[in-house]
Amino acid sequence: MLVLLLSLLTTSVFSFSCKDQNNKDVDWFAVYKMPIEKGDNSVPGIGTGVAWYYLDSNKKGALLPSEKTLDDKDQAIAYTLNQFYEKRTDPTIFHIMYNDEPYNSTSSSLLDMLTSNRIDAATIQFGHTKGTMFFDGSDGVWLIHSVPKFPPPDHYEYPSSGHDYGQTMWCLSFPYSQLGKIATQLYYNKPDIYSSQLPTKIAADYPLLAQVGELLFLARLVPTTDFDGHAPFLTLRFNFAQLNILISHVCCGNLGIVHTKYD
């Protein structure tokens, strides 16, 4: 399935792209965040829970420990997300941030709720899925991950909620032409969205995006212009957090894209 997913990628230079450890464009990268090991100094940051291993499409072999920690701002994850943060207010940029334990959430996790019988699993409305995606009219990035309450909508910061346990991330660079297939995946994943913007130009090209998370009726309409700066149109904006639940990603399906587990 990895081969199928990577077949959707191109080797073009992207306007938006995953970035490597030197802030260069890369088709994809993979991250394994190590569990905290207090008193251990074998890998930078492991004693405080911010050590990680890294591999990208330009490297061969196994994941290697990063000399930078996840708190640093000059590393692949921060470089990648900073592309979006720098253009966050641009009305022509589509973005979606979703997390079953959303940024700034203060309520209990689903595990706590289920074990304490405070919630019935049958009532859960969102998928066990976390990620961030942003596209312009040419290219985009999809960062799939397992980190609770990450990332913030307006700046890079690795959260304390991701310190104790092992975490994973997978960044993928896509051409705009693949956004329709990704929209289908997101629609069935039912992500819990805490920040998003959908320009009508992109919504017109890929109408299913407006139905992701069944959030259309909660949208705020914002006047803006098209990619050429001409006719005005409306942008859909969402910004809210809901039920916290656990993540479980499984790579499968004929698109080779990440499917999501439901209770």
pLDDT of 193: 92
In the predicted model, what is the mean pLDDT of the chain? Answer: 78
Distance from C-alpha of 194 to C-alpha of 85, rounded to nearest angstrom:
15
Per cent of the chain over pLDDT 90 is: 59
Asked whether the whole model's pTM tops 0.85, one would answer no
Share in percent of the chain as helix, strand, coil (round to 5)? 25, 25, 50
Q: Looking at 6-15, 103-112, 154-163, 232-241, which range is the least confident one? A: 232-241
Find where tokens 């959908």 sit.
198
Q: Among the listed ranges 57-61, 111-115, 243-247, 258-262, which one has the minimum average pLDDT value? A: 243-247
Question: Parallel, antiparallel, or unpaired: how do β-strands 232-238 and 193-199 relate?
Answer: antiparallel
Q: Each residue of 17-55: pLDDT tens digit? A: 999 999 999 999 999 999 999 999 999 999 999 999 999
Average the pLDDT over 213-228 and give the result: 44
Find the range with the poorest average confidence among 107-111, 128-132, 156-160, 184-188. 107-111
**Which residue, among 203, 188, 189, has the nearest Cα to 238 in the 3D structure?**
203
Taking residues 149-155, report their average pLDDT. Answer: 97
Mean pLDDT across 214-233:
45
DSSP string, 228-245: TS-SEEEEEEE-------
**Of residues 232 and 163, which shows the higher confidence score?**
163
Phi, psi values for residue 240, rounded to 5°: -165, 165
DSSP per residue, 155-185: S----GGGSSS-EEEEEEEEEGGGHHHHHHH
The span from the CA of 194 to the CA of 102, in Å, is 6
Rounded Cα–Cα distance for residues 20 and 75 (Å):
7
| DSSP-derived pairing of the beta strands 64-65 and 94-99 | unpaired
pLDDT band at 117 (very low <50, low <70, confident <90, very high): low
What is the DSSP code (8-state) at residue 50? -
Q: For the chain, which residues make up each domain, given as ranges?
A: 19-108+122-220
